[in-house]
Every structure is written in structure tokens, then in C-alpha cells.
Structure 1
Amino acid sequence: MRLLFGIVAVFLSVLGGFAAMGGRMGVLWQPVEIVIIIGAGVGGYVIANTPSVLRDTVRTVGFVARGHRSNKNDYLDVISLLYALLRVAKSKGVSQIEQDIDKPGDSPIFTQYPAVFRHERSLTFLCDYLRLIALGQDNPHDLEALMSEEIETISREMNQVPKALQNLADALPALGIVAAVLGVINAMSAISEPPEVLGRMIGGALTGTFLGVLLSYGLVGPSPAPPATAGSRS
């Protein structure tokens, strides 16, 4: 719903303002220009990114479209789960939670906090480091170093899609200029036509620049970071 509201707000503001200035809406409908800009943008995106980034892009767009976001209850469930696990480990020994962290789906402790299962990567991260503690790796400095390194790796992976989308957003105005130049070339080839015809053709060509800038700063540029479940585990 948030994504839909944002898109509607962008187009209503821009197109409504154009109409309020007395602009003719039909001039902005240039399907060929749209095909040039979007087609070249998608092609360049495929060329510039790895298959895993392309897959994560599709997942990210799906999550954003569905409005998937972590909320306060998700964080409370994680904190409560950690408290419950550490309380058992302290009172009965770390070995008592080994079965829980090996099979969290069957654990009576984990199942009390269903929100943690919606974040697969976070659940895996938690179980991995609890397993290290259960195996005897209880040096806090070593654990901190390992966790920091993995968090940094995860952060880099999760930022791949926003960076790729930002690169696409940076390229769209230039692709709009490409479409506009092609339109001007087409208009110059019809230089013998009446001024009204040339005016429409040049106006349609300039629409390419408008569309490139609008798509860049109005839609693709404000790209969010993907949720933790979108990326592949390293």
C-alpha cells in the first residue's frame, strides 16, 4: 500500500501539475520513447549485475510491493527468545539447548516466538553462534570478531541491490537523452513537414528526457534496502 501510494503521488503531482499549466496530456504518451528507455535500462541492468543480484532484485521488489517490514513485535520476539535460551543455558547447562538450536522448528522454546521464523537469515545467524557457544567457543572477543565479520559480509550482500538500482537510476536520465536525440533525428528527417507536425515530433522527442529523469528520481532512485531474507547466505 505504501509503495502504491508513493507511485500514485509521484504521477499525480507531475502529471497534474503539467495539466494545470495547460499542457496537453496526449503529448506525453510516447510508447516508443518508453520502450527505448525501459528496454535499454533493463538490458544494462542485466549486463552490469550478477544472476544472484538479479534474483535478489526480483525478491526485493516483491517484498516492497507486499509492504513487508519488521515491526516492534518481531524485535521483542527475538529478545525474548534470546532471554529464554540463555536462561536455560545458565540454569541447566549449554548442552540443554543444543537440540533446540539444531532443530528450531521442533523446539518448544523457539515455537513460542513465531515471528523469528519469518526472518530465515536472522534465525540462521542466531543458531550458528549459539551452536559455537555450545561447542565450547565462549571467548567473547573471538565471538565478537566472528560476528562482526559476518555482519559486515551480510551488510555488503544486502547493499548490492540498492547500489545496483542506484546505478540504474543514475543511468536513466542519460537513456532519456538517448531517446530524445533519436526523436530529434527523426524530426529532422521530416524537416519539410509543416511547423505543427515538427512541433509535435520535437515535443515527443523531448518527452524522452522527461521520462528518463522522472523514472530515475521518482521511481528507481528511492529504492529500499532488501529485507534480510532476500539475500543468499554466503
Structure 2
Amino acid sequence: MIETVETDAGTARVTWHHAPEPRLVLAVSHGAGGGIEARDLQALAAALPAHGVSVALVEQPWRVAGRKVAPAPKTLDTGWRGLWPALTRPGLPVIAGGRSAGARVACRTAAELGAHAVLALSFPLHPPGKPEKSRADELLGAGVPTLVVQGGNDPFGRPGEFPEGGFELVEVPFGDHSFAVPKRAPVTQEAALRTVTDAVTRWVASLG
């Protein structure tokens, strides 16, 4: 089911993948360079409904409008806040999630919006090649149970670069920022995605 939602940042869109007997909603948004067709978002939408989790794939207003460049973080947060009533309408706890820039939005707004937990896919810990420009404070400030799923070769932050903190981190071996693995890697692309879906399925089951 596709739902359009008006926000102060423009018209957003939610593609729902409903669980037969839902107990949670996982709302995940895309990054600054792509949409909800991202391989990890599609894999989660296919896998989680069978485990009692309805998945809402969120397209930010800039993407719905056909623009190529994401707006400033403040505008992204505004769009996400405007979507929240639609995400909570089913009356279930909502896990705020996203990949890359979407993960930053989820972390920044989780406590304010009352998110049940945060799923951060490919959290951009720093710009490539600039580890001194850390965004760790956003991740550490989420204030709710948080799972980070990070590619082992992500130039925006490899797993070993993350600080200690109140979050769980799962590595996708050989994965880049989009969880793509090289053809020469000893793991297949399917196995890499299975690492993502298995980790999220296990983590979601552990949430109270």
C-alpha cells in the first residue's frame, strides 16, 4: 500500500509492507544518494513481515519531488517529523530507521518523537577520508536501543572506527556503503544481504 503524507517540507510517500499479525512497525528512510529501491531496504521489506514487523519504506519529500540533491539536515528532520503521525497510526511501537543520511535523521529525532528503537543502516560516521569530522554524537544521542549495521569496507566509517557506546553493531563483511561486496570476495551478495536481514530480525525479536 502506498500512502502520500503532507509535511512542512513537502509531500512525502510511504510504501507499506504489512505483517499479517504485526506487533511493531519499522519505518526506514533512504539515503542522500538513492531511494527505497536500495537493496537492504527491499530485503528488509521482504523478510520482516513474516516476523510480525510491518515495514514502512519512507521517501522524503525531496525525493518524491524528483530532486537529485538532498536538502539540509534540518529539512530532512522536518520531513521525518511530519511523517510520524502516519507511522504511529497503526497504534504499534515504531522503530525509527534509515540508511546513511536517513539513519542520521532517525538518531537525531528518536527521543523527541518517542521512537521505540533506532535501526541505523550504513551510519555515515564521517565523510570519506575525513575521520576528524565525526558524527558519533548523533548516534550516541539517540537515547533508545540502537542497532548499527555497517559494511566492513564502508568509507563513511568502518566498524572498527565506531566508539564504544549504548548501541549494538553488526558488521557486513566486505560490504561497502550500500552493502555491495566485490565479486572476488569470499561471500556472495545474497549472503551479505542475509547478514543484514538476519541481524535485524534477531534484534527486533529481542526488543520488548
Higher helix fraction (1 or 2): 1
Higher relative contact order (CA 8 A, sep 6+): 1
TM exceeding 0.5: no
Rg (Cα) greater in structure: 1
Higher strand fraction (1 or 2): 2
